[in-house]
A and B are shown apart, each in its own frame.
Chain A
């Protein structure tokens, strides 16, 4: 490992202790000896296994649910339905006043995506739970579904989620998050070239090696200990408290080493129902996603559609950028209104552009709810932006790296969402990249700096 100390040398002291050193992880001795403890590395006498019965349809009305055969299955202790849940309608970000509540812990009248939880079977072995789950009879009336952003925003599209009323999130700013800076129309009028392109991405599963889950034990005093691999302990605690209408001091949440998360364990999908199950049965309960559930049911990164329109001059300056960004939230909000909003601020990219116009939308479809994954809201934006940058460079016959030097933001530049740039280091990163990739650029770019006026 090399610390490139020549950059920003005037801001450095020689006292650096950790930076530039390869350090051993503090938890790695546990990993290599098999001693690291994950939530599922425990078992309790009398523990029940929870198996979820899920919707096989993208969109359907539930006509009836017949539990009689499943309840008689040997080993079954109880089957939970929406009627058992004190506050069944929730949304994760209500904690920061981002409503409305739009998702049922267990489905009531409708299912809105293939995989939605309908009833929870509790049995004294995994086998019994699986067999009984197969005996739950649900009568569905299949409804028309929308499976992509364009279909969802078509004027006559079926409504995915009645709690929103239309197939997109309604921000306080209207149907989209907006950034307006300068005058894009004027910029396009002045531009030597205009390039408009549309980019699409598919959902991406986080695919952690350890599947999502939790194990709950009743403490005997109406208090519950929940061992969980959540990545978001306080989201989990607070949402569980709302859903179960139980004060937080009755919920003892125990986290620990997460066997891979990548954002996939930020939603609150297993803990509330498992704690309720432990409360209603008085038994320890484990609810652990199968590999199938992890891949199909846990929320992936959203599909996105991104339309980028840029005006560029022959000398390499981008003079206007217009963006329409669409995030496919799936059937429920989870964290997507936030992800789409993040995109709005991000879209100009690390470039200084005098005229910017951005609209980002959070769109509902009958797909698996999407949510957090490694820079959600900006990672796919960056994919689109950087492909667009290469295309723009090609359009004006310029080296793509030199093109980025010309447009790179520097300290003091105003970003489109009105944050002045500070601590920029893009130019220096590109200089280093140019060296190590043996992709030479003109000397004047190697002399540039991110400092104001540099």
Chain B
């Protein structure tokens, strides 16, 4: 199969690979670049577990061709903590019991991060809207919504 080069920044690190033309970003991140934080729950754009951030926008990596990400800036949950210090969202998901099996968690956190980056003081409705593309089978959505609101509050306290 024809290989094509892809090059992008992943969590601040420059990455380059030759991949099968037509490979999804999900497959390339997981199988080629060793970042297994995005998960494949459906591979058809319905569950959100593969969510990553591409140039500041939330994207389903299972529906994104890796070739289209050339030169992009890609962020995943694996790169969220800086120097071992957890992001407020990560702390809040832990404190609010917002993860059980954890399979949906990296995608949830990415969706929440894009929300908080754009809207640091979201309402409950904003959070529900932002997470509406992400399915969790275990936890129930209330702890997750609470976690995102808690993270928003702790962010604004830090900023104050």
User: Which residues of A come within 8 Å of B, CB atoms?
Assistant: 22, 24-25, 27-38, 40-43, 125, 207-211, 257-262, 290-291
Contacts and interface: CB of A to CB of B under 8 A. Distances in A.
Kindly state the interface size class of chain B when it binds its partner. Answer: 35 or more
A31 B97 contact: no
A24 B94 CA distance: 7
A207 B102 contact: no
Given A25-B100, A27-B102, A33-B77, 8 more contacts: A22-B97, A31-B105, A32-B105, A32-B109, A43-B30, A209-B41, A209-B104, A260-B137
A33 B94 CA distance: 10
Nearest to B42: A291
A330 B20 CA distance: 41
Interface in B19-41: 20, 30-31, 35-41
B8 interface: no
Chain B contact residues, majority secondary structure: loop
B39 A29 contact: no
A35 B105 CA distance: 11
Given A209-B47, A209-B104, A32 B30 contact: no
B103 A259 contact: yes
A210 B106 CA distance: 13
B78 A260 contact: no
A48 to B, nearest CB: 14
23 contacts: A24-B94, A24-B95, A31-B101, A32-B77, A32-B86, A32-B89, A32-B99, A32-B109, A33-B78, A34-B35, A34-B78, A35-B78, A37-B36, A43-B30, A43-B31, A209-B39, A209-B41, A209-B103, A209-B104, A209-B137, A210-B41, A262-B137, A291-B42
B45 to A, nearest CB: 10
A252 B93 CA distance: 34
B61 interface: no
A210 B77 contact: no
Nearest to A292: B44
B103 A34 contact: no
A300 to B, nearest CB: 14
Contacts of A37: 36
Contacts of B102: 27-28, 30-32, 36, 257, 259
A33 B86 contact: yes
Nearest to B92: A32
A339 B76 CA distance: 43
Nearest to A24: B94
A28 B94 contact: yes
A38 B80 contact: no
Contacts of B109: 32
If over half of A's interface residues share one DSSP class (helix, strand or loop), that class is named, otherwise mixed; here it is loop
A290 B42 CA distance: 7
Contacts of B135: 209
Interface in B93-147: 93-95, 97, 99-106, 109, 135-138
Contacts of B38: 34
Contacts of A207: 137
A30 B103 CA distance: 11
Contact of A32 (B31, B43, B94): B94
Given A40-B40, A209-B104, A31 B46 contact: no
Nearest to A207: B137
Nearest to B135: A209
B90 to A, nearest CB: 4
A133 B101 CA distance: 32
B37 to A, nearest CB: 3
Contact of A260 (B1, B46, B89, B103): B103
A228 B100 CA distance: 19
Shortest beta-carbon contacts, A-B, top 8: A34-B37, A31-B102, A259-B103, A41-B36, A32-B90, A291-B42, A34-B77, A34-B78
Interface in B49-105: 49, 76-78, 80-81, 86, 89-90, 93-95, 97, 99-105
B41 A291 contact: yes
B42 to A, nearest CB: 4
B132 to A, nearest CB: 16
A11 B121 CA distance: 48
Nearest to B104: A209
Contacts of A41: 30, 36
B101 A25 contact: no
Given A43-B31, A209-B104, A259-B103, A33 B39 contact: no
A41 B47 CA distance: 18
A291 B93 contact: no
